[in-house]
Chains A and B, each alone.
Chain A
């Protein structure tokens, strides 16, 4: 079997570590929101940052992007760049009305 066709099998241990990190981050977000309610804007930004860290962990480890060919990272980057572009255009549109 050539190198290219070797299947990478993610270990149970790695999956469980990812899961533990995601659980911890969820508890953190809820704590920030419920117990830090007076820090309104901070908590929205914090919640979004934590959500993005969680999403990255899901994509990178659970969805296997870490071990996939670079092509997948490039495609993902392209789609995310497109989304950010939409977001910026929309923000500029609303700010200049």
Chain B
């Protein structure tokens, strides 16, 4: 391992507290990004509650439920992978991270089929069927695609983040003593889960 690089002033290049604080500050901005969208949802749902109710019946509750269980379980595997790393069990840690990535891919596959079905029915903004819907239902699908799309993007980024951590553990830059990267990937992944915890009831279960 090469620890020869030192910052000019402090002599430290390992500062887990600042790493974690930085990650949290970033997550707060993410929280407010989604928060703004939740507020848009709140207002439009109040103004078009009947239309939102009707439109929500067009989503598949069971696919949504399956994805929720998948994300919660992947939150467990990433949390356990951090514990495994801290206890020095690198192999278990790496395997649990692969499981998390597998769950992320599973989530995206289910989303692909869900979105695919909506495309087939022409429900994506700009398509024929979408255009013929009343305004309230159009708003619902617009928000549905935008919010789950943005969330899906976070799932992809989270999976790539975890890939970097796996690489780091294998290379020896992420170790039981220097686990900040793994911890931060975990925080990001839990955040992705956290957003879905609200998206799921708001879009699938509001009836």
Chain A residues proximal to chain B, CB less than 8 Å:
7, 9-12, 15-16, 18-19, 22-23, 26, 29-30, 32-34, 37, 40, 43-44, 47-48, 50-51, 54-55, 58-59, 62-64, 71-72, 75, 79, 82-83, 86-87, 90, 94
Contacts and interface: CB of A to CB of B under 8 A. Distances in A.
Given A33-B201, A62-B190, A94-B43, A47 B75 contact: no
B201 A55 contact: no
Interface of B: 21, 24-25, 28, 31-32, 35-36, 39, 42-43, 46, 53, 61, 65, 68-69, 72-73, 75-76, 79-80, 82-83, 86-87, 183, 186-187, 190-191, 193-194, 197-198, 200-201, 204-207
Contact of B32 (A40, A62, A83): A83
24 contacts: A9-B83, A10-B83, A11-B83, A15-B76, A23-B69, A23-B72, A23-B73, A26-B65, A26-B72, A30-B61, A32-B205, A34-B61, A40-B207, A47-B201, A50-B201, A51-B201, A55-B198, A58-B190, A58-B197, A59-B190, A63-B187, A90-B42, A90-B43, A94-B46
B24 A75 contact: yes
Contacts of A58: 75, 190, 193-194, 197
Question: Which of B39, B83, B197, B204 has the most A CB atoms < 10 Å from its CB?
Answer: B197
Nearest to A84: B35
A-B interface, 7 closest residue pairs, ranked by CB to CB distance from nearest: A33-B205, A47-B201, A19-B76, A9-B86, A79-B28, A22-B72, A15-B79
